[in-house]
Structure 1
Amino acid sequence: MLKKLKLNHLLAFALAAIAAIMSMTIGQSWEPVVAQNQSQNQVQKQAQKPAEAPLQTISLQNAGLQLQEVAQGVYALIASTDFPPASPAVAIANGGIVIGSESVLVIDPFQTSDLAELLIATVKSLTDKPIKYVLNTHYHFDHTGGNVAFVKQNIPVIGRGVIREYIQSGKNNTNGITPPTVIVNSQTDIWLGDRQVRIERVDGHSAGTDLVAYVPDAKVLFTGDMVFNKRIPYTGDSDIRQWQGSLYRLIATFPEAKVVPGHGDVTDVTGLQAQQAYFSWLERTALEWKAQILTKEQVLEKFAKVPDAYKDYKFKGIYTLNLESAYEQFTRSRTIPLIP
C-alpha cells in the first residue's frame, strides 16, 4: 500500500481517484494519495472520499468480492478490482470474517456503508452468531468507511493509536467517516467464545495506526495493508524502513500462517517475503539515485516505467508515489539503510 465515470456520484469518486493518480505523472488516491511535498498538497486539495452508492441490488459479485473460506470458520472477502474501480460500489480492499463458538469478528468493513451492510448480510448467511467486534487494521478510508453501519448497531469498532484523531480531522480522505470506538495500543487478545484472536501492533504503513490479527487455532494472519499481494503498495504516509522491520518480524513470528493481505489474493509467508523484496529493491534503487546525485524530477522522469518484475501487478497508478516516497526516505536520508 490506482481514471472516467459517468454517474454524478461516481464522478466525485473518479475525480478523487484520477486527481490523485494524476499527481506528478499518474499520481493516486486509492488510499487517498498524500504524496510528499508538492504532490501531497495537490492531492489533498483535489481528492474526495468516494460517494455512497445506492444499495439497490448490491451483491458480492457486483461489489467485486469473492468469499473464500481460509480455514474452518475463517473467511476472506477478496477484492479483485484494479484502481480506480469502475464504481464506488466496488470494494477496493479485502475484508475478513472470523466465527467463534459464540460470536464473530469482522475485519475492515470496506469503504462505504452499503458495502458494510453487504458484509453484515454475508456474516448472516454463514452463521446466526452475533458480530461482537469490528477491527480497523488502519485508518485509510477503504478499510474504515463502513464503520458507521456497525456503530449504529452499537458494535464496538477497534482501532489503534491516533486513528480517531486522523479520521476526525479528515486526514487522507476520511472526512465524514465514523472513527473506531475502542482504541488498543498493545497486544490484545479477544475471544469469540472458544476462539481466540490476537491483535498486534505493527508499524510502517499508515503513520502509527497499523494492526494485524492472528487466529492461532486456524493459523490465519490478517495483515491489513502491511501486505499488498501483487499490487503496488500505497506509501503516501509510510515509513518504509519501519515497514521492512515489521515484515521481518511477521515472517519470523508467523512462518506457517495463511495470510490474508489488505489487497490481493490470499497467500502465505511468500507474500510477506515478496513485499519485503519489493521494498529492498526500492531502497537499493533509491541509494543508486543518491550516489548519482539525481534530483527528484530526474528520478520521476527516468524511472517512471514500472519494472518488468512488477509488470503484472495491479495499482500501477500509484507507482510514481512509491518513487517519491523512496526518494524522500532514502535518497535524502543520512541514516544507515536497513537493507544493505
Structure 2
Amino acid sequence: MNKPSFASTADTTQRTIAFDEIGPGLYAFTAEGDPNTGVVIGRDSVMVIDAQATPVMAKTVIEKIRTVTDKPIKHVVLSHYHAVRVLGASGFGASEVIASKATRELIVERGQEDWDSELGRFPRLFQAAETVPGLTWPTVTFQDRMSVWLGDREVRLMHLGRGHSAGDIVAYVPDADVIFSGDLVEYRSACYCGDAHFTDWPVTLDRIAELQPRAIVPGRGSAVVGEDKVRAAFASTRDFLTTLYGSVSKSAARGLSLKQSFDACRAVMDPKFADYAIYEHCMPFNVARAYDEARGIDRPRIWTAERDRSMWADLQG
C-alpha cells in the first residue's frame, strides 16, 4: 500500500466556493471542506467571522460580500488562533479584530510555530503567502462574553469552554438564531484535534446546543440549516470525538505505544469517518494529542514544522 503524502501536501485541487444566505443578512462562505468564513450584515456595517489564511484569500471573501452589500467591514472575529483562520485578517481593513483572551495568549505562546506548521502541512490554503504581513493580533479581547452591535443588530461572542483549542468562541446572532461555530462543530469534515481538549469538548458542544440554533455555519463543511440537520451536525461531531478519544484512552490505559494506539484507533474510525474531508490529514495529529491527554498532559504540546514531520513518519511511515 502506498504511504500517504505528508498531511495535505498532495492536495492541490481548488475547491468550488459557495456563498449562501442562511438568514436575513447572514452568509456562509464555504469551499467543500476548506475553512469557512461567516458574514453578518448589520444596519451600518459588516462583521466577518474567520479571516482565511492570507490577505489575497480574504479578497475573495470581500468580492462575495460586495455582491450583497456596500457597507463597510468594521469587525473581524477570530474563532480561534489557527493560522488558516487568522492570517488573512489584514486584507479586510477592519477597525477591530476581536478574539478571546485565551486566543491572544495562544498567539503569544505559539502563533509563529503554528504558522510555520500549517504552511508546511497545507500549502494550497496559503495562496500568496508572501502577502501575509505578520501574525494577526487582536485589538479587542474578552474573557467569557461580549456583544457587538452592528447598528441595531446584536452579535453575541461567547467563550463557552475549551474544545478545538483553549480559546474557541462562537458568534450567535439572536434575532435569527444562527451560530457561527468555528471548528467546535464540523459537518462532513474531520475534527482537527491537535490542540484539543477532548474531555471538555463534548461539554462545550452541549452549551452551544442549549442555544437551540436553527442554523450553523461550521468550521468546515456546508452550512447547516434546519433543526434536524443542526442536530445531526452536533451528533456527528460528538461521535467523531468520543469514538476517537474512547479508543485512544483505552489503548493508553493498556500501556500500548502511540503507534499501536494509532493503528487501533484507525481500525475503529476508518469505517465511520474515512470519507470525511481532511480525515487522513487530521488523524495522526488527533491521535497524538489524544494519547497525550489520556496520559495526563492537559495543555497541548506546541506543534512545530519539525515535530509535525517526525510524528507523521512515526505513525504513517
Q: TM-score, normalising length from structure 1? A: 0.72
Assess, with a 3 A threshold, how the Cα gap between structure 1 residues 79 and 118 changes in structure 2: closer, same or farther: same
Residue correspondence of structure 1 range 177-326 to structure 2 within 5 A: 177-251=135-209, 253-267=210-224, 268-305=230-267, 306-317=269-280, 318-326=282-290
Q: TM-score, normalising length from structure 2? A: 0.76
State the partner residue of 1:87. none
Q: CA separation in 1, counterparts of 2:51 and 2:15?
A: 13
State the partner residue of 2:66. 124
SS of the residue 2:200 aligns to: helix
Q: CA separation in 2, counterparts of 1:256 and 1:154?
A: 27
Contact 1:139/1:206 (<8 A) preserved = no
Aligned length: 268
State the partner residue of 1:55. none
1:195 Cα deviation from its structure 2 partner: 1.2
Code of the residue aligned with 1:137 in structure 2: it is S
Gaps of at least 5 residues in structure 1 are: 1-17, 22-27, 31-61, 82-91, 336-340
Assess, with a 3 A threshold, how the Cα gap between structure 1 residues 107 and 313 changes in structure 2: closer, same or farther: same
Which moves more between the two structures, 288-297 or 113-122? 288-297
Contact 1:259/1:269 (<8 A) preserved = no
Higher helix content, 1 or 2: 2
State the partner residue of 2:313. none
State the partner residue of 2:19. 67
Q: CA separation in 1, counterparts of 2:205 and 2:43?
A: 31
1:135 Cα deviation from its structure 2 partner: 0.5
Q: CA separation in 1, counterparts of 2:153 and 2:272?
A: 40
Q: CA separation in 2, counterparts of 1:137 and 1:127?
A: 23
Map Cα deviations across residues 6-52 of structure 1 (whole Å, 9 max, x no partner).
Answer: xxxxxxxxxxxx65x2xxxxxx799xxxxxxxxxxxxxxxxxxxxxx
State the partner residue of 2:314. none
Contact 2:46/2:75 (<8 A) preserved = yes
How big is the alpha-carbon RMSD for the aligned residues of Structure 1 and Structure 2?
Answer: 2.7
State the partner residue of 2:87. 145
Q: CA separation in 1, counterparts of 2:200 and 2:39?
A: 28
Q: CA separation in 1, counterparts of 2:175 and 2:169?
A: 19
Contact 1:104/1:132 (<8 A) preserved = yes
Residue correspondence of structure 1 range 74-153 to structure 2 within 5 A: 74-81=26-33, 92-150=34-92, 153=93
Contact 1:163/1:179 (<8 A) preserved = no
Assess, with a 3 A threshold, how the Cα gap between structure 1 residues 303 and 208 changes in structure 2: closer, same or farther: closer
1:199 Cα deviation from its structure 2 partner: 0.6
Contact 2:248/2:265 (<8 A) preserved = no
Q: CA separation in 1, counterparts of 2:45 and 2:96?
A: 13
Residue 112 of structure 2 corresponds to residue 160 of structure 1: no
Q: CA separation in 2, counterparts of 1:167 and 1:180?
A: 9
Contact 2:262/2:284 (<8 A) preserved = yes
1:303 Cα deviation from its structure 2 partner: 3.8
1:144 Cα deviation from its structure 2 partner: 0.4
1:187 Cα deviation from its structure 2 partner: 1.0
Code of the residue aligned with 1:183 in structure 2: it is T
Gaps of at least 5 residues in structure 2 are: 117-131, 225-229, 299-317
1:326 Cα deviation from its structure 2 partner: 2.0
Q: CA separation in 2, counterparts of 1:198 and 1:298?
A: 44
Map Cα deviations across residues 196-218 of structure 1 (whole Å, 9 max, x no partner).
Answer: 11110033345432110011111
Q: CA separation in 1, counterparts of 2:231 and 2:287?
A: 26
Which moves more between the two structures, 156-165 or 236-245? 156-165
1:257 Cα deviation from its structure 2 partner: 2.7
